[in-house]
Amino acid sequence: MFDSVLIANRGEIACRIIRTARRMGLRTIAVHSEADAKALFVRMADEAHCIGPAPARESYLVAERILEVAKKTKAGAIHPGYGFLSENADFAEAVEAAGIVFVGPPASAIRAMGLKDAAKALVEKANVPVVPGYHGAKQEPAFLRERAINVGLPVLIKAVAGGGGKGMRKVEKLVDFEDALESCRREAQSAFGDPRVLIERYVQAPRHIEIQVFADRHGNVVHLFERDCSLQRRHQKVIEEAPAPGMPPEVRAAMGRAAVEAARAVGYVGAGTVEFIADGSQGLTEDGFFFMEMNTRLQVEHPVTEAITGLDLVELQFRVAAGRKLPFAQSDLAIDGHAVEARLYAEDPEKGFLPSTGRLVALRLPEGEGIRIDSGVVEGDSVTPFYDPMIAKVIAHGATRDEALDRLAEALDATVVAGPRSNAPFLAALCRAPGFRSGAFDTGFIDRNLDALGAVPQPVDGIAVARAARLLIEAEERRAVHGAGHGASPWDLADGFQTSGPRRIVLPVLADDRTVEVFASWSAAGFVVEAPGGIMDDGSSDAASAVVPGHAGVHVVRKGRQTFVRLPAISDAADAHGGGDGVVKAPMHGKVIAVLVAKGEAVTKGQKLAVVEAMKMEHALVSPCDGSVAEVSAAVGAQVAEGAPILVVEAVGG
């Protein structure tokens, strides 16, 4: 066994690898970008080395710098984690050529499975069923359009490289094909450096089920059962579970055999995942699943497999990489209970799941029986626009699926994220959604149920507003009495005395930048704040999950949902009229990759005007009205902050 490992990754996966490596007595070496200099994984490692600026292409994707650090530190092995260089065959070869153990499959297996088109052709020869479609070399748009017609709409256009939902578009109408193809290619080029695509028939009522496989260097290959990853948004996994609901034993066995044969076909070694798409319209059947791709690395969702098998997959990776045999046969493995994982992201479901960056003013993650947390950040850290906005993975294990889902929902309710927005309440709603609980779901479940899941603009939380407004007024009273002096504030007399009875004022506050009027009352009985809906707060009880003072306001988190309340500043009135509805702003920090209109050009409401890329995903900016482009404020290639003006549209008759 080697005595040290360099982790060529960051965030929660680096932290997770370090924990197992430490337990095994291995020296841990971290590499990091300038943006991650103070990150949790850097602090956890035995030593850490900077490898470049914040953008991944200038740091985590620069193989030469990582190898330089590995040689300098005399690392015995390199663990690539997932993402970045984990499925880069050239990197795996370079590691081995340097005399360092690569904790992953051989480069030949990575190459064989790294491109979806070649992988499909390979597994077909091993009698593994594949989705009908086109996965050839010709890439001319007209030819691909013809292939889509032959396959039959709807189809999926998919990047031949990479994964994670990037470079993937569903096309239901032929008129949309060219735009979808162009966008898919552009995103694939940005994320993977390869714009090639394939065409695949869209499977109706699709279930995304994957099989965890493990192989050693001695010819032993087993599967560790399945994971259901069907709860997705924009082809990105949201909640994963093991085992798959409604999975008959004979179908599990058939999928397992197919996955093992796919792994054998490429001489696989280590941990890998064979992904299948299943037609869920008639339930899971032996002839109703098709190979999609193989991920030649550890997966984000591996903890649910660990929970139901009792295995540490990272430890197994280390032992297999060191030449050890697998310590079990297929017949030794069994499923214990049920596990569910939720991906807690810094994003705002009420605003189209836009990434939300900034300092984590508060971060309190749940604990309890059957709960596991994998995180790469702690309170005080920042979520930056440079990388995936994951805060943590929350994993629940129980004797039954219902018990695991109940535990996960309660854990998400107790989660406190203040500063950036989070998807915690959305995830909790998913755990409780009747269709998901009953097993009546597929990959389109989330998109069909956005309203019911709370992933649309919600009314202001009156309880949070009342609680926050009370605290802000009390703080203002203290400031007036002890700081600026009497007469500096409309509520600087707190004794409740006035000749006409109890004193009562109307006070506008800003709750998530929406103006809300609250009533503050002082009487001999005490001080009470009333928010819309008759919601009262007299200070006798704390109805909020958490109250966190922030910059110029208060964050209140109730059942995972955050409300930021502040008193209005004089400048707010001016700001409210600064740009008008015609200003099209960047919805998040990112890079302008396309401006599709010019100054003076006539546009219609809803027309796509520009595209901003953030976290390697494209976000279209559309016109808020019919009119003409009065100003183009940002150029292609420009890095823009959240809220930065991109264009101005002057309304017809404006």
Average pLDDT over residues 562-588: 67
Instruction: Return the CA Rg of the chain.
Output: 27
Identify whether the C-beta of residue 378 lies closer than 8 Å to the C-beta of residue 453. Answer: no
Block residue for tokens 């914040």: 54
- Smallest CA-to-CA distance from 627 within 608, 597, 601 is with 601
Identify whether the C-beta of residue 363 lies closer than 8 Å to the C-beta of residue 391. Answer: yes
Average pLDDT over residues 39-44: 98
pLDDT digits (tens, 9 = 90+) for 262-278: 999 999 999 999 999 99
Average pLDDT over residues 300-325: 98
**Cα 428 → chain centroid:** 15
CA–CA distance, 276 with 228 (Å, rounded to integer): 10
Q: Is the pLDDT of residue 7 over 90?
A: yes
pLDDT band at 543 (very low <50, low <70, confident <90, very high): low
Q: What is the pLDDT of residue 534?
A: 83
Single-letter residue type at 212: Q
Residue 166, both tokens: 């990037």
Residue 602, both tokens: 């006539």
Q: Is the pLDDT of residue 652 over 90?
A: no
Domains of the chain and CATH, by start: 4-103 (3.40.50.20), 132-201 (3.30.1490.20), 205-334 (3.30.470.20), 337-457 (3.30.470.20), 462-568 (3.30.700), 578-651 (2.40.50.100)
pLDDT band at 219 (very low <50, low <70, confident <90, very high): very high
Percent of the chain with pLDDT strictly greater than 90: 71
Q: Is the pLDDT of residue 541 over 80?
A: no
- Smallest CA-to-CA distance from 190 within 178, 199, 182, 180 is with 182
Residue 179's H or E segment, with its range, is helix 177-192
Beta strands in 25-150 (DSSP E): 27-33, 47-52, 77-79, 101-102, 133-134
**Cα 77 → chain centroid:** 29
Residue 464's H or E segment, with its range, is helix 462-479
CA–CA distance, 302 with 295 (Å, rounded to integer): 12
Q: Is the pLDDT of residue 501 over 60?
A: no
Q: What is the pLDDT of residue 277?
A: 93
**Is 297 annotated as catalytic?**
yes
Average pLDDT over residues 391-401: 98
Q: What is the pLDDT of residue 75?
A: 98
Q: What is the pLDDT of residue 483?
A: 56
pLDDT band at 522 (very low <50, low <70, confident <90, very high): confident
Q: DSSP string of 110-141?
A: HHHHHSHHHHHHHHHHTT--B-SEE-SS---H
Strand order, beta sheet including 617-622? 617-622, 608-614, 590-595, 639-640
CA–CA distance, 17 with 29 (Å, rounded to integer): 11
Identify whether the C-beta of residue 320 lies closer than 8 Å to the C-beta of residue 328. Answer: no
Ranges 100-114, 532-546, 636-650, most confident: 100-114
Single-letter residue type at 245: P
Average pLDDT over residues 364-369: 95
pLDDT digits (tens, 9 = 90+) for 61-96: 999 999 999 999 999 999 999 989 999 999 999 999
Q: What is the pLDDT of residue 576?
A: 38
Block residue for tokens 């309440």: 425
pLDDT digits (tens, 9 = 90+) for 95-134: 999 999 999 999 999 999 988 788 888 898 888 999 889 9
pLDDT band at 572 (very low <50, low <70, confident <90, very high): very low
CA angle 324, 328, 329 (to 5 degrees): 120
CA–CA distance, 424 with 403 (Å, rounded to integer): 19
CA–CA distance, 81 with 160 (Å, rounded to integer): 21
Average pLDDT over residues 341-348: 97
Q: Is the pLDDT of residue 191 over 90?
A: no
Average pLDDT over residues 287-294: 92
Angle formed by the axes of helices 63-72 and 89-97, nearest 10°? 20
Q: What is the pLDDT of residue 544?
A: 66
Q: Is the pLDDT of residue 539 over 90?
A: no
Q: What is the pLDDT of residue 412?
A: 97
Block residue for tokens 């209970």: 337
Q: Is the pLDDT of residue 416 over 60?
A: yes
Q: What is the pLDDT of residue 497?
A: 47
Any long-range contacts for 481-489 (C-beta under 8 Å, 24+ apart)?
Answer: none
Quick one: three-class SS letters along 465-504? HHHHHHHHHHHHHHHHHHHHCCCCCCCCCCCCCCCCCCEE
Q: What is the pLDDT of residue 524?
A: 79
- Smallest CA-to-CA distance from 179 within 620, 648, 651, 653 is with 620
Q: What is the pLDDT of residue 569?
A: 61
Q: SS3 of 203, please?
A: coil
Task: Give the C-alpha distances (Å, rounded to integers) separating 121 from 8, 172, 291.
Answer: 31, 26, 11
Residue 53, both tokens: 């600026």
CA–CA distance, 30 with 46 (Å, rounded to integer): 8
pLDDT digits (tens, 9 = 90+) for 24-34: 999 999 999 99
- Smallest CA-to-CA distance from 215 within 335, 131, 346, 319 is with 319
CA–CA distance, 76 with 318 (Å, rounded to integer): 11
Strands 101-102 and 77-79, how do they pair?
A: parallel
Mean pLDDT of the chain: 90
CA–CA distance, 82 with 46 (Å, rounded to integer): 21
Q: What is the pLDDT of residue 269?
A: 98
Q: What is the pLDDT of residue 615?
A: 63
Q: What is the pLDDT of residue 542?
A: 65
Cβ neighbourhood burial of 334 (10 Å; 0-12, 13-18, 19+): exposed
Annotated catalytic residue, options 111, 169, 252, 297: 297
